[in-house]
Amino acid sequence: MSSLALSVLLSLVSAVAYAAGAIVQERVATSSDGRSLAPLRDRVWWAAVALNGVGAVLHVVALAYGPLSLVQPLGALTIVFALPMAALFVRRKAGATAWRGAVMATVGLAGLLALTGSSDTHSLGGPQQLMLALVTFGAVAALMLVAKAMRRPVMRSVVLAGAAGVAFGIASVFTKTVAMQWTSGSVGAGLPTLLVIAALAGAGLLLSQAAYRGAGLTAPLATVTVVNPVVAAAVGLTLFGEQFRHGTAGTMLALACGAVAAGGLIMLTTERMSAERRGGQEAPEGDESTRTASRTGGTAGRASRGGPPGGGAARGAPGGGPRGVQ
């Protein structure tokens, strides 16, 4: 097997591992009691952590055998793999709108990453690393505050997923910096950065877990999948000397790809909000137990108030919103 073929295979398996981890995280989120640290006591959640770890290791190994321009776009297939896997293993089917949004987000992201080239890269110095770490933690904290102020569970989850994507993306940037330092023989110089990587990766994992509560699978997963590499690419363009291929034409095409990816995310979010307004009875991602619970809750609510059928008893957010980082 050639190095290129091995890189493609590792990238695809990595995307499958990430998709499986996301499915497990979402199931844990819907079954937990809403307390912030409840998933940490769930052995199934740790299985999701292991799957995400496998996906990360395979992704790094794939980069060792293949070019970044190939490996990164293949990683965008995570959301596409997640939909049929969820339907197959946990009977959580996605509707046509979810599929269209997922495909749009994946195609837009893949095109954007494919257009990102590279020049002579350099490692971030100490002051740059400190500035980037402070800005990142500040941005993540700000997004958490914004999410906490939102009443709509779906929008809250999307913002939390965006914060997770920021944390994961900057963790990748610091990982690249450490790799470059270790390659040049400066092993000791990268050790303090490992603490920042661990903190960002842990924050991203917990934020993504919180995002799955009350918003289903596709919208949070697509948001993390898109925001993560986009943030990393933005830092690469500004701090690592990377650039878009094909000059001005490539830049315009990259902007168009970004708009396509954003349109896919908007489609996924609005679909989930429509399902929420319907009380979850026709949610495209919900399984039969979810729909049954929603119908039962709606009937009980109407009976308790003595109102007419269709009075909106089940219009509340399915599953409730996250009360904090889960």
Alpha helices in 212-325 (DSSP H): 218-239, 247-277, 288-305
Terminal Cα-to-Cα distance of the chain (whole angstroms): 42
- Render pLDDT for 294-314 as a digit per residue (tens, 0 to 9): 444 444 444 444 444 433 333
Q: How far apart are CA 141 and CA 145, in angstroms?
A: 6
Average of per-residue pLDDT across 195-199: 90
Comparing C-alpha atoms, which of 270, 139, 126, 116 is closest to residue 188? 126
- Render pLDDT for 90-105 as a digit per residue (tens, 0 to 9): 777 777 788 888 888 8
pLDDT at 263 over 90: no
Q: Among positive and negative, which fits the CA dihedral 44, 48, 53, 54?
A: positive
**Phi, psi for 116 (deg, rounded to 5):** -85, 115
Question: Which residues pair with residue 116 across a beta bridge?
Answer: 244
Q: What pLDDT does 38 receive?
A: 56
Q: What pLDDT does 305 receive?
A: 44
Comparing C-alpha atoms, which of 116, 177, 151, 76 is closest to residue 316? 151
Model pTM score = 0.69
Q: Which residue has the higher pLDDT, 283 or 121?
A: 121
Q: Is 116 in a helix, a strand, or coil? A: strand
